[in-house]
Amino acid sequence: MSAADQVPLQIVAYCCHYCAYAAADLAGVLRLRYPGEPKIVELPCTGRLDVLEVLHAFEHGADGVMVAGCLEGDCHFQVGNLNARRRVAMVKDLLNQIGLEPERIEMFNMSSAMASQFAAAAEEMTARVRTLGPNPLREESVS
Amino acid sequence: MIVAEQKPLDEIRDLIADAGKVLVVGCGTCVTVCFAGGEKEAGILATSLRMASKLNGNAQDVTHLTVQRQCEWEYLDPIEEQIRQAEVVVSLGCGVGVQALAEHFPQAWVVPGLNTSFMGLPTEQGVWEERCAACGSCILGLTGGICPIARCAKQLLNGPCGGSQDGVCEVNAETPCAWQLIYDRLKAHDRLDLLMEIQPPKDWSTSRDGGPRRITREDLRLVAEQVE
Ligand code: SF4
Ligand code: SF4
């Protein structure tokens, strides 16, 4: 393991109340194992996802952001997750222009019963961010 | 409303390249409702510029604020101090807002963060279309409320041209032919007779061809200004 592998990663996981947050909860109840890097921020719906808040997360050193909402077509608020998907695409474009890897943010969809999918999403995002390495802005902002 | 869109980040970064302290000024009116230069967009731009400059190894101090309306002096007075502290001001107002800032604060270096595009309206959420070109002599009364100056690619007064196909303009397949729209509307109102009158060439002196325009309303001017 190189030193870079040891650096603790910070991943912000924006999870909607009705599906992804419940799936994460269920993953805990089922004692599923998944990486501890994703720190969950509960949103009433991923439609509440705010581009500026996501950028601030990256500005202040988040290495990755995962956005997890209901399955497409099953949003508790009809289309909040579809709006979130487009905002994630917008953030990817912004990150690209700013000079950060767009892969640092991703959207996931799951129902409240899909605990293993939540764990798999957490695994995937953590592995991806581990490959990308720490956010280069982190050293600047966290002294 | 005035419709604008943000310049690419790289272009804005070039405009502020030599500044250490940058102020992004949003506008709370037209460009807020077309999501180009309001409070949210000013915040996103300022954050993006901070992040990009840090990644570049040359961190710039970028802050932002938003005024209710950039195109009137009285809204600009309260931000004088912040303007004074900035080496470069990025205006997220339309071209009028940029010039208002530059004119009101002669010592400030003001650059545009938006491309001001046109006067138009949102035809659906996320889509804006041009409707008026401010020609200075409105003929909508002859054309059923559909403007051939802003909406016909050739600005015809006696259209349509021969390229009108199935209601679509020959210049752009995404644009409805303005003259087809005019015809349909006049027909629906039983006013096709309006089309029988041949319109003479338009007097463009009220438009851009007449040079910069100015409107003076003596009834509104302050008495003090009128004293000879
Ligand atoms: S005729 Fe002139 S003033 Fe009237 S809508 Fe068209 S461009 Fe604007
Ligand atoms: S097709 Fe219609 S809108 Fe296009 S240039 Fe001809 S008259 Fe104008």
Q: What is the pLDDT of residues B121-130, one digit of tens each?
A: 999 999 999 9
Q: What is the pLDDT of residues B36-49, one digit of tens each?
A: 999 999 999 999 99
Would you state the pLDDT for residue B40?
98
Looking at the structure, tell me whether residues B29 and B106 fall in a common domain.
yes
Under a CB-based contact definition with an 8 Å cutoff, are residues A2 and A130 in contact? Answer: no
Give the number of other CB atoms < 10 A from CB of residue A3. Answer: 6
Does residue B186 lie within any of the structural domains? yes
CA neighbor of B62 nearest in space, from B6, B23, B102: B23
Within A1-143, strands assigned E span 11-16, 38-43, 64-69, 105-109
Would you state the pLDDT for residue B20?
97
Say whether residue A52 is in contact with chain B using an 8 A CB cutoff: yes
Looking at the structure, tell me whether residues B35 and B96 fall in a common domain.
yes
Could you tell me the CATH number of the domain that includes residue B81? Answer: 3.40.50.2300
Q: What is the pLDDT of residues B157-191, one digit of tens each?
A: 999 999 999 999 999 999 999 999 999 999 999 99
Amino acid type, B54: K
Is residue B145 over pLDDT 90?
yes
Would you state the pLDDT for residue A140?
46
> CA-based angle B95:B99:B102, to the nearest 5?
145
Does residue B127 lie within any of the structural domains? no
Under a CB-based contact definition with an 8 Å cutoff, are residues B112 and B45 in contact? Answer: no
Does residue B183 lie within any of the structural domains? yes
| Domain-terminating residue out of B87, B118, B149 | B118
Amino acid type, B218: E
Would you state the pLDDT for residue A142?
45
Q: Which of A51, A52, A98 sits opposite B51 (nearest CB)?
A: A98
Looking at the structure, tell me whether residues B31 and B98 fall in a common domain.
yes
Query: Which class would CATH give A9-132?
Result: alpha beta
Using DSSP, state whether B187 is helix, strand or coil: helix
| Domain-terminating residue out of B86, B118, B150 | B118
The pLDDT of B118-141, averaged and rounded, is 97
Residue B147 lies in domain: 135-228
- Annotated domain spans of chain A: 9-132
Would you state the pLDDT for residue A7?
76
Q: Which positions ≥6 away from A4 have C-beta within 8 Å?
A: A133, A134
Q: B87 CA to middle of ligand 2, Å? A: 47
Sheet of B127-132: strand order equals B2-6, B114-124, B127-132
Say whether residue B14 is in contact with chain A using an 8 A CB cutoff: no
* DSSP-derived secondary structure for A108-139: EE--TT-HHHHHHHHHHHHHHHHHH-S-HHHH
Helix (H) or strand (E) holding B192: none
Looking at the structure, tell me whether residues B112 and B162 fall in a common domain.
no
For atom 3 of ligand 1, the residue with the nearest CA is B138
Q: B3: Cβ below 6 Å to ligand 1?
A: no
Q: Distance (Å, rounded) from C-alpha B152 to C-alpha B179?
A: 7
Spans in chain A with pLDDT lower than 50: 140-143
**Residue B65 φ then ψ, to 5°:** -150, 165
Structurally, chain B folds into a number of domains equal to 2
Q: Distance (Å, rounded) from C-alpha B164 to C-alpha A117?
A: 54
Under a CB-based contact definition with an 8 Å cutoff, are residues B33 and B8 in contact? Answer: no
Would you state the pLDDT for residue A141?
44
Q: B201 CA to middle of ligand 1, Å? A: 15
Looking at the structure, tell me whether residues B148 and B209 fall in a common domain.
yes
Q: What is the pLDDT of residues B47-105, one digit of tens each?
A: 999 999 999 999 999 999 999 999 999 999 999 999 999 999 999 999 999 999 999 99
B38 Rama sector, left if φ>0, alpha if ψ -120 to 50, beta otherwise: beta
Report how far apart, in Å, the C-alpha atoms of B29 and of each of A11, A82, B8, B66 are.
37, 28, 22, 10
Looking at the structure, tell me whether residues B39 and B147 fall in a common domain.
no
Looking at the structure, tell me whether residues B103 and B11 fall in a common domain.
yes
Does residue B9 lie within any of the structural domains? yes
Pocket test for ligand 1, best of B135, B155, B203, B206 (most atoms within 8 A of CB): B135
Query: What secondary structure letter does DSSP report for A47?
Result: G
Looking at the structure, tell me whether residues B72 and B152 fall in a common domain.
no
Q: What rounded mean pLDDT belongs to chain B?
A: 96
Decide if B51 and A140 are in contact by the 8 Å CB cutoff: no
Report how far apart, in Å, the C-alpha atoms of B127 and of each of B35, B37, B142 are.
11, 16, 27
For atom 5 of ligand 1, the residue with the nearest CA is B132
Decide if A99 and B59 are in contact by the 8 Å CB cutoff: no
Looking at the structure, tell me whether residues B73 and B158 fall in a common domain.
no
Would you state the pLDDT for residue B209?
93
| Domain-terminating residue out of B118, B153, B185 | B118
Structure token digits, residue B213? 């325009």
